[in-house]
Amino acid sequence: MRKKKPMDRSQMMRAVHSEDTKPEVVVRRALFRAGLRYRLHRRDLPGTPDIYVLRYNAVIFVNGCFWHQHGCKFTSRPKTRSEFWNNKFDNNVARDVKTLQQLSNEGFRVAVVWECSLKNSPDRATERLVQFILGNEEFLEI
Q: What is the pLDDT of residue 86?
A: 92
pLDDT at 10 over 90: no
Q: What is the pLDDT of residue 74?
A: 81
Number of separate domains in the chain = 1
Give tens-digit pLDDT for 74-107: 888 888 888 999 999 999 999 999 999 999 999 9
User: Which CATH number belongs to the domain containing residue 26 in this structure?
Assistant: 3.40.960.10
Would you say residue 8 lies in a domain? Answer: no
Would you say residue 75 lies in a domain? Answer: yes
- Range in 2-11, 21-30, 37-46, 84-93 with the lowest mean pLDDT: 2-11
User: For residue 131, what are the domain limits?
Assistant: 18-141
Write out the DSSP string of 3-53.
PPPPPPHHHHHHT--SSS-HHHHHHHHHHHHTT---EE--TTSTT--SEEE
pLDDT at 73 over 90: no
Would you say residue 1 lies in a domain? Answer: no
pTM of the model as a whole: 0.83
